């Protein structure tokens, strides 16, 4: 079941993100940041256990980011990541946004969902809002991908 996250999910979300960040698959987020942005998260829950998560970060009137996508290894390859991203796309459409993007190491996955490669320079709100604080800036090795929506 995919649902909006609640405060009680924060520690489980953090655990999933830390596990994947420690393997170099994504950037980590602090527990404090997760609490502060909990309303932007979705979780994939099975039998009371959080096994996946994703977040939709609004950046501008027409732009949002799909971020912090993680699915437990137990569910890898079963379409759960696709479902989590689709929840973000659906919400972005409901909000009237015209474009979503992701910074990722998983180009093939996002391509299958309809995202296309873009230059990071097309995302000035993200660069100035988040990337400049990152330890990898300016040598970021993530790939920028975006999708145009029909809200």
pLDDT at 139: 62
Query: 114-121 long-range contacts, Cβ below 8 Å, gap at least 24?
Result: 114/147, 115/145, 115/146, 115/147, 116/145, 116/146, 116/147, 117/143, 117/144, 117/145, 118/144, 118/145, 118/146, 119/144, 120/144
Q: Are strands 99-104 and 116-117 parallel, antiparallel or unpaired?
A: unpaired
6-40 pLDDT, tens digit per residue, is: 999 999 999 999 988 888 777 778 999 999 999 99
Q: Say how far apart CA 19 and CA 117 lie, in whole Å.
A: 27
Mean pLDDT of 39-57: 96
pLDDT over 80 at 131, yes or no: no
Residue located via tokens 């502060």: 36
pLDDT at 75: 80
Under DSSP, the state recorded for 134 is S
Q: For residues 148 and 25, which has the higher predicted lDDT (pLDDT)?
A: 148
pLDDT at 129: 54
Q: For residues 140 and 68, which has the higher predicted lDDT (pLDDT)?
A: 68
pLDDT over 80 at 70, yes or no: yes
pLDDT over 50 at 132, yes or no: no
**Could you tell me the strand order of the sheet in which 99-104 lies?**
2-4, 41-46, 49-60, 63-71, 99-104, 143-148, 116-117
Is residue 42 very low, low, confident or very high in pLDDT (cuts 50, 70, 90)?
A: very high
Domain count of the fold of the chain: 1
pLDDT at 120: 83
Instruction: List the CATH number of the domain containing 14.
Output: 3.40.630.30
Tokens representing residue 100 in the block: 């979503």
Residue 62 domain boundaries? 2-148
């Amino acid at each position: 079941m995919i649902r909006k996250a609640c405060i009680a999910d924060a520690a489980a979300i953090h655990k999933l993100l830390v596990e994947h960040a420690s393997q170099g698959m994504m950037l980590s987020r602090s527990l404090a940041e997760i609490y502060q942005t909990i309303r932007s998260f979705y979780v994939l829950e099975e039998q009371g256990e959080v096994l996946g998560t994703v977040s939709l970060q609004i950046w501008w009137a027409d732009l949002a980011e799909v971020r912090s996508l993680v699915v437990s290894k137990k569910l890898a390859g079963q379409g759960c990541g696709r479902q989590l991203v689709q929840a973000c796309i659906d919400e972005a459409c409901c909000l009237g946004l015209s474009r979503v993007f992701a910074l990722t190491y998983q180009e093939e996955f996002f391509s299958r969902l309809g995202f296309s490669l873009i230059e990071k320079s097309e995302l000035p709100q993200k660069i100035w809002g988040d990337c400049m604080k990152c330890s990898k800036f300016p040598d970021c090795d993530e790939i920028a991908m975006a999708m145009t929506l029909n809200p």
